[in-house]
Amino acid sequence: MIDYPSARAVALVVETGSFERAARVLSITPSAVSQRVRQLEERLGAVLIERGVPCRATEKGAWLCRHVEQVGLLEQDLLRHLPGLAEVAGQRVTLNIATNADSLGTWFLPAVAPFIAETGYLLNIGIDDQDHTADWLRSGRVLAAVTGLETPVQGCRIQRLGSLRYHATASPVFIARHFPHGVTAAAMADAPALTYDQKDRLQHRWLETQLGQGAVSPTHWMPSTQGFVDATLAGMGWALNPAALVAQSLDDGRLVELIPGAVLDVPLYWQVNRLASERLAPLTRSIVAAARRSLV
């Protein structure tokens, strides 16, 4: 039988990043939290937490945290039928989900807000490239994720959301400076792009599609969806920007497409752990509805 007070302590240390903050949530001392964690680790014969700043879950610890999360979901269901248990049910449930940064910066928050308002759940939203959020599901770090993977992760249910459309944009001044004779592979080799991080392949994919294999561009590194838009407006570089964020700037001429009509559509999917899919059905409905309104 799982020692749930100790399991809850592990989950809170991971969620808050420290034994001290977990202790404040539980209204006990940090040494008591440490004792609970240590005893559970000894009982299970596995290290559950990587001690550091912040503290992080090990692979086995992550699976325990997801189990605690699912137990919390079950408790919330029970409280709807037995509200008298609310005083002894413990803390509010935090759901761990993941999405890509561009979805978070455009359509995702309006999708989850109604679910949060209705249920009272808290969210811990992880950010990664859409080609890598599926790894968060595989490792047990999250219960659900927006991902670019079109095949179900083992143990998950999948639903297509649509495609997030991108425009390759730059300021008119940048276009005049770097592409006076049009967008060519030679011109691109001297025109700085914007790249979110080392996992971001969107600009590379667009270059390959439009100019062929081997086309390259120097880059600025900028891990911010809105920063991409601001940097292109400021003339720092060119970038693939979500259509929703640059529509007005394209209309008023502050931004220009590098090649008119040469968009890139990135398919997105919603994957949910099967064990939590029924309890997260309202969240899935809200996300699918918002995606249908916002995505291609």
Residue 181 CB: number of other CB atoms within 10 A?
7
pLDDT at 84 (0 to 100): 52
Beta bridge partners of residue 221, listed in sequence order: 195
Q: What is the pLDDT of residue 93?
A: 79
| pLDDT of res. 72 | 79
Q: Which two tokens stand for residue 115?
A: 């679910």
Q: What is the pLDDT of residue 233?
A: 98
- pLDDT recorded at residue 3: 86
Strands (E) in the chain, as ranges, are 49-50, 56-57, 94-99, 122-127, 144-147, 156-170, 193-195, 219-221, 239-242, 256-257, 263-273
Tell me which DSSP letter residue 35 carries.
H
Residues in the chain predicted with pLDDT less than 70, given as ranges, are 1, 76-91
Domains of the chain: 1-67 (1.10.10.10), 164-266 (3.40.190.10)
The per-residue pLDDT for range 163-197, each reduced to its tens digit, is 999 999 999 999 999 999 999 999 999 999 999 99
Q: What's the pLDDT at 79?
A: 59
In this prediction the pTM is 0.77
What SS3 state is found at 131?
coil
Instruction: Compute the distance between CA of residue 116 and CA of residue 128 in angstroms, rounded to an integer.
Output: 22
Residue type, 131: D
Which of 85, 111, 86, 84 shows the shortest CA–CA distance to 97? 111
Q: Which helix (H) or strand (E) holds 56?
A: strand 56-57
Residue 12 contacts residue 22 (beta carbons within 8 Å): yes
Given this model, what pLDDT does residue 85 score? 47
Between CA 125 and CA 104 the distance in angstroms is 9
Q: Which residue bears the tokens 């910066």?
A: 105
